[in-house]
Amino acid sequence: MIFKSRQEPLELTILRILNKRMELPENEKSYYLKLKKGYEGEQYFDSLMLESLKGERLILNDLLFKFNNTLFQIDSLVISQHTIHTFELKHHEGDYQFEKDDFYSSSGKKMNNPIHQLNRSETLFRNMLNNLGCQLPLEPKLVFTHPEFFLYHAPRDLAIIYHPQLNRSLKKFNSKPSKLNAWHTKLAEKLVAAHIPKSPYSQIPEFTYEELKKGITCSSCDSYFVDDEGKKLVCKDCGCEEDIESALLRSVKEFQVLFPERKVTTGVVWEWCGMSRSRKAVRRILNKHFKCVGHAQWAYFE
């Protein structure tokens, strides 16, 4: 069962909204695409684990710990009766080469060796578990989740699971039965308590309200709705339909993610959503879903 689920990182949510509302600088854009791709790989792995794992096991996703003043991340962790498995997930695509303990992309660019990252986390996590009074053996694996990833010249003894080996690995995993007790749950609780929720690695570019494009975007293709003031909005690009109420509320959520310190007022939402509806229509929807605080021009919604 999932004991700690994975949420879309706030950094990715913000970049996703910014990407459709402003021209991201080249480096920010590629950083955004890298994050997005990584998250897709993680979601793929999570759903595979959830549908394949058998027996009593606790799954903890997306953990960030600090031990001995050093931060380390564990993408996915499974507590079984006699073992703790950790997974470092990579969603690289294309051809890579392993040479003298280093990874190279097909263009010859030297990459950080994810095995080193795995070993570093393993050492820190082993010490952290000892500190928590846990002596269960640790089995760390590096998982390449993309079906079109290939690593040339990789030694066979690396702790790697490649995409074509995933199903077999999970079968092997399931072949060892697992029964948990209160001690395992307690351990999972301690790990969740030690998790640092806000990543200090976040890189969010600077932006202002004024420079962002206003309007309501399509939930499936991100293009801007052309509002013909009907009850439903129809995307001219992908044909997706959404009623004005849910589309407007989605836009309000985006506004709140980008500007958590700003008050939600009728005027602000009216402008943010592209001013295609009357202020009255906007106020009616806000009144229905939020609590109105204050009166007249000082009124805001929360």
- What is the rounded radius of gyration, in angstroms, for the C-alpha atoms of the chain? 23
Three-class DSSP labels, 81-119 = CCCEEEEEEECCCEEEEEECCEEEECCCCEECCHHHHHH
* Residue 232 binds to Zn ion (criterion: CB under 5 A): no
Q: Which of 132, 196, 238, 257 binds Zn ion (CB under 5 A)?
A: 238
Q: Least distance (Å) from Zn ion to the CB of residue 286?
A: 24
Q: Which of 161, 191, 235, 247 binds Zn ion (CB under 5 A)?
A: 235
Q: Which is nearer to Zn ion, 59 or 235 (CB)?
A: 235
* Residue 237 binds to Zn ion (criterion: CB under 5 A): yes
Q: Least distance (Å) from Zn ion to the CB of residue 238?
A: 3
Q: Which of 53, 194, 240, 299 binds Zn ion (CB under 5 A)?
A: 240
Q: What is the DSSP string of 63-75?
A: EEEEETTEEEEEE
Q: Which is nearer to Zn ion, 194 or 234 (CB)?
A: 234
Residues 6+ apart with CB under 8 A from 100: none
- Phi and psi (nearest 5°) for 212? -85, 140
Candidate segments 24-32, 187-195, 201-209, 235-243, binder of Zn ion by CB under 5 A: 235-243
Candidate segments 121-129, 148-156, 214-222, 273-281, binder of Zn ion by CB under 5 A: 214-222
Q: Least distance (Å) from Zn ion to the CB of residue 176?
A: 46
Q: Least distance (Å) from Zn ion to the CB of residue 256?
A: 22
Fill in the amino acid letter for 98.
F
Candidate segments 5-13, 48-56, 68-76, 210-218, binder of Zn ion by CB under 5 A: 210-218
Lookup: tokens for 186 = 């307690």
Question: What whole-number distance in Å separates Cα of residue 8 and Cα of residue 64?
Answer: 14
Question: What whole-number distance in Å separates Cα of residue 86 and Cα of residue 3?
Answer: 14
Candidate segments 6-14, 68-76, 207-215, 234-242, binder of Zn ion by CB under 5 A: 234-242
Beta-bridged to residue 2, according to DSSP, are 59
**Chain centre distance of CA 2:** 16
Q: Least distance (Å) from Zn ion to the CB of residue 218?
A: 3
Lookup: tokens for 152 = 């040339």
* Residue 60 binds to Zn ion (criterion: CB under 5 A): no
Site for Zn ion in 131-150 (CB under 5 A): none
* Residue 236 binds to Zn ion (criterion: CB under 5 A): no
Check if the beta carbon of residue 77 is closer than 8 Å to that of residue 6: no
Q: Least distance (Å) from Zn ion to the CB of residue 275?
A: 21
Lookup: tokens for 58 = 């606790």
* Residue 218 binds to Zn ion (criterion: CB under 5 A): yes
**Which whole-number Å values give the CA distances from 111 to 77, 92, 123, in the listed order?**
25, 11, 22
Q: Which residues bind Zn ion (CB under 5 A)?
A: 218, 221, 235, 237-238, 240
